Structure 1
Amino acid sequence: MSQGVDHFFYTNFEILPDPRTKDWFPVTNFNLAVVLVAAYLIFCLFLGPLLMKNREPMQLKNSMAGYNLTMVLVSAYVAFESFMGGWGTHYRFFCHPIGAPDDKNSLRMAKAHYVYFVSKFVELMDTVFFVLRKKYSHITFLHVYHHGVVVLMAFCSLRYLPDGHGTLIVLLNSLIHVIMYAYYFLAGLGPKMQKYLWWKKYLTSMQLVQFLFTLSHAAVVFHPSCNYPKPLVIVLMINSGMFLLLFANFYRKSYKKEKNEEGESHIKSKKSKKNK
């Protein structure tokens, strides 16, 4: 399958694997990425719930705390390296081409991109924790689609376009994940932290802004003066558009639910005062 993917990109778009990253494991094998995503789907949607059917939900408090804190640190590292490797130093915001194979800064960006890619495999544990804790309501189409597709997208971007214009998503997504996993870590410390987590409702808003920004930034490559491979950018834009619609729908439903709960709470409060 890996050779077939390479052949597809070359014959249709004249894009070859980048010489710097094509031999980095597991970017060498598209089959492995597909198998792991397939195993993730089978476990989280079928096998996991079946195994947990007659078992009590696992608590996993310490394991999740360690996992969330680790993801904060990994995401912060990727954000820092992608900033120093290009976006905060010499990258041109409106169009930056693929760097030369011997360029040290471009290699630094590619290495940050590699850690980002590997972290997407690790993030599949988000859903595994939901299964083991029997939090099945959290395993939505948005959640599963997001985690599965991002692994495959990250594989293609790292193998064929590991630096340059398209890597802004590496920086933005890593920054969002620093905040997101920090929230999960703090929330896992118990009810005493709830008063400090007022910013939870802004997480989805930040993700929506990220996708809007990514779409706008990706569109720049279609200017005639921009020498950056366009086919994968089109795929990126389609995927970002899909995420935007799904997250917007999630935000709308969550906001509506929150407003309804606030309204019910207000009515109960009024009734309580009248009874007194």
Structure 2
Amino acid sequence: MTLREVLAHAEQRARLSSQKHGDLQYVVAASSGWSRSDLLLRLDQPAETGTQAFVEHAAQQLADGCAAEYLTGYTAFCDIVVRVREGIFVPRPETESLVQMAGDFITDQDRPRATVLDLCSGSGAVALALAARLPQVAVVGLELDPISVSCSRESALDLGLSERVRFVQGNVLATWGLALADFRSRTDVIVSNPPYVREQRLFPAHASSPREPVQALYGGTSGMVFYKRIIAQACDWLRPGGLLLLEIDDGLEEAILNLFERYGLQGGRWSPDLRGLPRYAEARRAE
């Protein structure tokens, strides 16, 4: 059988949806060390021994709701590749804008040796991408989940960034003051993509990728639990003029801007994602 026939047979056997067709090709290519172009060039060549069993297994896993990135063990983010495994939230493309925005602030403010805190750092993608972009920046990621912390540290070693990026296990809602005490009033940027899905949106959000951890999505009944904690503490951790940068859910923007004002942060504003929905919010500590 050709590789094309193997793929078609596996998709049919697993009843894989058309939306997952590209995911299966991605898994096969990545697991073989190929680019997508390499895969396309090999479609009409005879499949290698063992390929059919692997492809059928991958197709069934995808049909059962497994993220493609869990099958390959990594994901691309900005200009880097980070490790992921089941139980770790897979970073989304829209989160790459946080890296761009934080990097632009550090460059524009001429803070080449900036210190950055990444709260709810998950896979470590934001922290690592920012450090890869700015070679003198130091980043600390705080994350509750021990599997995510371990995987982030492995990615830092893979990328040669472990001297400038470290990951600490801690709870943003409870213990980050103790875990990050050395950074009080010394942080140039706080960046966070916390759990923000509110209760009424949780089921459809989790159903779209059911093997991802629900705790990485759920932000409480209103979606505001993590934002309230982070914004309330931000001025204690930022240097004068420092930036707080958040990824947000649409519909929460006004509540977040109100919190900025309540806790003395200045210049609060939100900006949209590529779909035009409110997705990012930022404010600064007064000079």
TM-score, normalising length from structure 1?
A: 0.25
Structure in which a larger fraction of residues adopt helix:
1
TM-score, normalising length from structure 2?
A: 0.24
